[in-house]
Structure 1
Amino acid sequence: MKNITTLLKVLFSAVFILVLAQCTATTSASSENEKTFIVGPETADCTGVAPMKCLQVKENSSGEWTNFYSNIEGFTYEPGYEYVLKVKTEKIENPPADGSSIKYTLVKQVSKTKK
């Protein structure tokens, strides 16, 4: 009986450690796929497949504004505001020839400031 109790304790401990390790791995993986974007208050003329308007985006306050050719699912842009966004990135398997290989999804709108 003592051997069974000891075995159950060892098994329970092993399962607990595996569950804890999986939770940590999931958290790390999701944070690796998140970016912070600063979205400028104006769009800019740009050319993708055709002439279009691009969001102006940078990843930190000291960075340069760059054209953002994709859209951010769940985000509605309003001119005249600067946004700070947390965005999840996902690699797209077999993207269209004229499309991005990354899907961007809004996780959280951190701020919206009138400019």
Structure 2
Amino acid sequence: MKNSKALLQVFFSAMIIFVLSQCTASANTSNGNEKTFIVGPETADCNGVVPMKCLQVKETPAGNWTNFYSNIEGFTYEPGFEYVLKVKTEKIENPPADGSSIKYTLIKQVSKIKK
């Protein structure tokens, strides 16, 4: 009887650990739609459908600046500042032919530093 009781305790402990690990995994997956962007202090000339000004963005401090052709909903850019932003990305089901297939929404402005 003691062995079966110990076996049940081990089994239930293992099940609890399994269930908790699955909850953590699904919580991390929901963050898969979040990115951190570093936005540069100056815009650059770029060509979309028409010539325009693009934000300069990189995802890591060591990364290269790239033209960002989209808009970040909820973010107001001010030249002369470098920003670190936490951004939510959502796939757009039927994007316009001249638009992005990803919608970017500001979650949090982490920092704004005068440059």
TM-score scaled by length of structure 2? 0.78
Q: CA deviation at 1:22?
A: 8.0
Residues 56, 32 of structure 1: CA spacing in aligned structure 2 closer, same or farther, 3 A cutoff? same
Residues 29, 69 of structure 1: CA spacing in aligned structure 2 closer, same or farther, 3 A cutoff? same
Deviating 4+ runs (over 2 angstroms): 20-27
Is 1:101 equivalent to 2:110 in the alignment? no
What residue in structure 1 maps to residue 6 of structure 2?
Answer: none
Gaps of 5+ in 2: 1-17
What residue in structure 2 maps to residue 51 of structure 1?
Answer: 51
Q: CA deviation at 1:23?
A: 5.5
- What does 1:15-94 correspond to in 2, within 5 Å? 24=24, 26-94=26-94
Aligned partner letter, 1:89: T
Identity percentage over the alignment? 82
How many pairs were matched up?
99
CA root-mean-square deviation: 1.8
